[in-house]
Amino acid sequence: MLFLQRTTDLVFGLSTEQKEQDMNMISDAKSGSLKAKKEKGNRFTDTNTIPWTSFFLNGVDYKLLDFAGERCTLLVKVEKGTKLAIHQHLKPVELYLMSGSFGYEDAESGTADMIYAGGYLYEPPGTVHEPTSPDGFVGVAVIHGHVVGFDAQGKEVRIGPEDYYRRAKENNAVAHLGIEDDTELLARASAL
């Protein structure tokens, strides 16, 4: 019963219908009737077959691993010494470094925070930073929603998951996603 209560707590905030579906799956697992099977939508991807797509800035490339409209997952490669322009994340961003370094300085306190290979960073909505990568890095980023920055003329620029998708699509780097019709996903992402 404790297991079910904790699981119920984890699904708190879901619709009643989704909670019932989740609790039914938990009940199946408890009774031993659960069997391993490949679900529709599972994707096993050899990232070596995905071409790198140039980011919107020099020194940054990515491979789009997943696109869900309002969220995307990227394998990111950044050249040594790359510094990104100041920008703000409107939704959370997560970054796990496989190699290299990434960080930024807090302008108010003057302290710098860095992560290195094996490090994880969570940035809540509203995070404003001007990140740098002294050693370059390769990592996995999960980006929710848009990032707001400014171009050389001071004009506001928004980049979101749909922009990463469109750019990768232009680079013929989305076939592994199995998206036959991207109309709904792009509409949902653009509505953010």
Q: What is the CATH number of the domain that holds 69?
A: 2.60.120.10
Q: Quote the pLDDT of residue 4.
A: 42
Quick one: CA dihedral 44, 48, 49, 50, positive or negative?
A: positive
Mean pLDDT is highest, among 16-25, 50-59, 109-118, 139-148, for 139-148
**Are residues 24 and 113 located together in one domain of the fold?**
no
Q: What is the pLDDT of residues 133-149, one digit of tens each?
A: 999 999 999 999 999 99
Q: How far, CA to CA in Å, does 99 sit from each of 117, 118, 119, 136, 138?
A: 4, 7, 9, 8, 5
Which residues partner with 139 through β-bridges?
Answer: 76, 97
Tokens of 40: 């529709």
Percent of residues in the chain assigned helix, strand, coil, to nearest 5:
25, 35, 40
**Are residues 17 and 97 located together in one domain of the fold?**
no
**Are residues 118 and 75 located together in one domain of the fold?**
yes
Q: How far apart are the first and last CA of the chain?
A: 40
**Are residues 71 and 149 located together in one domain of the fold?**
yes
Q: What is the pLDDT of residues 27-76, one digit of tens each?
A: 666 666 777 777 777 888 999 999 999 987 778 999 999 999 999 999 99
Number of domain units in the chain: 2
**Are residues 117 and 179 located together in one domain of the fold?**
yes
Q: Quote the pLDDT of residue 27.
A: 62
pLDDT confidence band for 152 (50 / 70 / 90):
confident
CA-CA distance, 137 to 74, in Å (whole number)?
Answer: 13
Share of the chain above pLDDT 90, in %: 56
pLDDT confidence band for 9 (50 / 70 / 90):
very low
Q: What is the pLDDT of residues 91-101, one digit of tens each?
A: 999 999 999 99
| 120 inside domain | yes
Share the mean pLDDT of the chain. Answer: 86
Q: How far, CA to CA in Å, does 6 sit from each of 16, 20, 36?
A: 17, 15, 23
- Residue 84 near residue 147 (C-beta atoms within 8 A): no
- Residue 141 near residue 88 (C-beta atoms within 8 A): no
Q: Which domain holds residue 20?
A: 2-31
| 40 inside domain | no
| 36 inside domain | no
